Amino acid sequence: MATDRDTVLEAAVGVLSRRPTAHLDEIARAAGISRATLHRLFPGRDALIREIGLLGLRRFASALDTADVERGDAEAALRRLVDASVPDAMLCAFLAGENQLYEHEDINDLWEVQIARLHALFLRGQQQGVFRIELSAAWLSEAFFDLVAGVGWSIQDGRLAPRDAAFSLAELFLGGALRRPDTRTPAGATAGSTAHSTATPVHSTSDHRPDTDKP
Amino acid sequence: MATDRDTVLEAAVGVLSRRPTAHLDEIARAAGISRATLHRLFPGRDALIREIGLLGLRRFASALDTADVERGDAEAALRRLVDASVPDAMLCAFLAGENQLYEHEDINDLWEVQIARLHALFLRGQQQGVFRIELSAAWLSEAFFDLVAGVGWSIQDGRLAPRDAAFSLAELFLGGALRRPDTRTPAGATAGSTAHSTATPVHSTSDHRPDTDKP
DNA sequence: AAAGAATGAGACATCTGCGTCTCATGTGAA
DNA sequence: TTCACATGAGACGCAGATGTCTCATTCTTT
């Protein structure tokens, strides 16, 4: 059934995210194809894993693009990112569990780039006064990605309804990551959904804290 | 040097949590012992994995015990749980990545028991008015465990200082899980619950509600 | 110091999963 | 129908990891 490469990769993720040592037999069966066809699509196990990683990173990068995370209010950007990431949560789950052990140079580079973009988003949010500064941007990045992965696992196991995924993720994470209303502008921050160009008086450039950097 | 079984298991986790397909050679080297001794301690790879899972579950169960999660104010209980869990975060990371595909019956049972305790804690907290009810207890359990795992990974990779771990975890998670005294409710919440604007301050321990337990 | 136990290093056989091959079947196009 | 192509099923050899063994060395204990 799944003759498309990406479809096979997604099926493979469903198995490998849970059982990293699964045999190619299982993966092929999960994808609904034979081991021979699997070999015709991907030269070997290494290539398969590698392509899964690449697919996950491409999807996540695409989510970052779609969400346009580099611009606008950081909270709104993050909400957009949540919506864009959730559909590919399972891919992210795979990446989270297996990330740095990739021996492939290019994959690591791609990974670093995406993490850097996420990191920059949180850093910008902190500078805007949107995100808490007691929590390092590195930790926020890590936590966000782990929660996306958790969403993927939960959905896969049927513990979380796909409909609730984006809401659950955004609410839990933003609740912990946003600066409390009492310390920032009380009114506008919660507007969430249709928030983007509304008159949200987020302390943009006024309250700059040259929070130098650092993970 | 690590002749103690648990010490070896912890070293093994350090390797396997990152590279699930690591050879026994690597594991033995990581533990500072020879492959022969590793085999003397654990009959084989299966047994090793199994014992790692058991150790992780024992530690997490012990953390739940230490935190005394079944009694008292839910927020305080969760804070205690954070402190008790963080030292074993890496074990939890292993469990998170590999949980349910354990073919071993007893491990799965033990796992279910601990998750049920966590679930009960959140349920009790919701009944006490401490935790938000828009987020399901199941999701809170999952998210908490995933964040503990994330702490483990981050510390291992040097992205998070061990000193900051408990604080970062507690602040981020509780920020998202606690009901706000001063409500900032999401606009387009899909959850039907109308739990906002109740100016309920966090109930202290005095306000015990006869929490019926668990699902 | 001497005896005992435990460990490390290495050799060896085994086994399982991987990669490749061939052939039969099924499907779509001409 | 017939041809071309893709897939599935299975066989086979191979590589590498695993499991077991032996022996030398080191540490502990008396």
pTM (2 d.p.): 0.84
B150/A157 touch (CB, cutoff 8 Å), yes or no? no
Contact status of A44 with chain B (Cβ, < 8 Å): no
Instruction: Give the span between the Cα atoms of A28 and A7, in whole angstroms.
Output: 12
Residues of B in contact with A171 (CB under 8 A): 132, 134-135, 176, 186, 189
Q: How confident is the model at residue B21 (pLDDT cuts 50, 70, 90)?
A: confident
- Rg, C-alpha atoms of chain A: 19
3-state secondary structure A29-67: HHHCCCHHHHHHHCCCHHHHHHHHHHHHHHHHHHHHHHH
CA distance A50 to chain B (A): 14
Say what the pLDDT of residue A206 is.
35
State both tokens at B65: 């015990």
3-state secondary structure chain B: CCCCHHHHHHHHHHHHCCCCCCCHHHHHHHHCCCHHHHHHHCCCHHHHHHHHHHHHHHHHHHHHHHHCCCCCCHHHHHHHHHHHHHHHHHHHHHHHHHHHHCCCHHHHHHHHHHHHHHHHHHHHHHHCCCECCCCCHHHHHHHHHHHHHHHHHHHHCCCCCHHHHHHHHHHHHHHHHECCCCCCCCCCCCCCCCCCCCCCCCCCCCCCCCCCCCC
CA distance A44 to chain B (A): 16
Dihedral of alpha carbons B11, B15, B16, B17, sign: positive
Tell me which residue in A96, A172, A190 faces B177 most closely, judged by beta carbons.
A172
Helices (H), chain A: 5-16, 24-31, 35-41, 45-67, 74-85, 89-98, 105-127, 137-156, 162-177
In this predicted structure, the answer to whether residue B185 has a pLDDT above a threshold of 60 is: no
Contact status of A157 with chain B (Cβ, < 8 Å): yes
A168/B18 touch (CB, cutoff 8 Å), yes or no? no
In this predicted structure, the answer to whether residue A30 has a pLDDT above a threshold of 80 is: yes
Which nucleotide across the nucleic acid strands is nearest to A45, CA versus C1'? Answer: C18
In this predicted structure, the answer to whether residue A75 has a pLDDT above a threshold of 90 is: yes
Instruction: Give the span between the Cα atoms of B177 and B202, in whole angstroms.
Output: 12
pLDDT in tens, B27-77: 999 999 999 999 999 999 999 999 999 999 999 999 999 999 999 999 999
Contact status of A160 with chain B (Cβ, < 8 Å): yes
Exposed, middle or buried by CB within 10 Å (0-12, 13-18, 19+), for A129? buried
In this predicted structure, the answer to whether residue A202 has a pLDDT above a threshold of 50 is: no
CA of A38 to C1' of D8 (A): 11
Residue type, A134: E
CA distances from B21 to A112, A162, B49, B142 (A): 23, 31, 11, 25
Of residues A140 and B198, more confidently modeled: A140
Length of chain B: 215
State both tokens at B13: 């986790």
A142/B160 touch (CB, cutoff 8 Å), yes or no? yes
Choose among A110, A126, A119: nearest CA to A142. Answer: A119
DSSP of A11-25, one letter per residue? HHHHHHTT-TT--HH
- What are the residues facing B211 on neighbouring strands? none
Say what the pLDDT of residue A135 is.
98
Q: Averaged over A204-208, what is the pLDDT? A: 37
Instruction: Give the span between the Cα atoms of B50 and B41, in whole angstroms.
Output: 13
